[in-house]
Structure formats: structure tokens, C-alpha cells
Amino acid sequence: MKMLSKALLSTVLAFGLLSGSVGAESLSQQSVDTQATIINPIYKMRVGWSKGIGTKGSRVVLVSGHGIVSVNQYGMVTALRAGTATVYNYAADGNLYINYFEIRN
């Protein structure tokens, strides 16, 4: 099971970096001191669905997937069309939560 988890994580990270969705410019603009980085499981959603990932005092940033999902000031992610997206949640507890979304019709 650990091997499968490591393989999935490696694949997700490789596709995100190889696709150029997270460029050095976007990362440098969002640099924040964090205590830990937590990668959440992939959220699978359908167009029109919404999921709240923000909490009081957190800052939610759409890193990739502009036009695939939208994120409001409260951390609500709404699926707009099919595709994939990455959303960072800089939480008030000092942790960075990385959220991957897979949107289907």
C-alpha cells in the first residue's frame, strides 16, 4: 500500500511540475513560511459542485486550473468545466495544504 501511495504522489507531483502549471514566478509570489506541507487526496467533483477548503484566517490560492475551477474569498472551490486544478490553502495554523481537483462533466 505504501508503494502505491508513493507512486500516486510521485505521479501527481510530476504531472503538475511537467505541465508547467506551477512556474517559478507563481511560487515566488506565494512564498510563505509554513510549518508543514500537507498534500490532501485528490478531490473528484462534477461540474457545478462546490467544496469548501478554507477556514477562518486561511488564504486560499488557485495555482493552476484557471477556468476549470473558481475560488472565492471564503475558500469555496466551484467546478466550472472538466479538467484538473491545484489549489493551495495557507492555513491559520501555519501549514500549507495542497489540494488537487479532478473535475468531470
Specify the CATH number for the domain of residue 24: 2.60.40.1080
Whether pTM > 0.85 for this model: the answer is: no
pLDDT band at 34 (very low <50, low <70, confident <90, very high): confident
HSE, CB side, 13 Å, CA atoms: give it for residue 9.
11
**What domain count does the chain have?**
1
Of 17-31, 38-52, 91-105, least confident by mean pLDDT is 17-31
pLDDT band at 17 (very low <50, low <70, confident <90, very high): very low
Q: SS3 of 43, please?
A: strand
Give the residue numbers spanning the domain of 55: 2-104
Segment 65-84, tens digit of pLDDT: 999 999 999 999 999 999 99
Structure-model confidence comparison of residues 28 and 5, the more confident one = 5
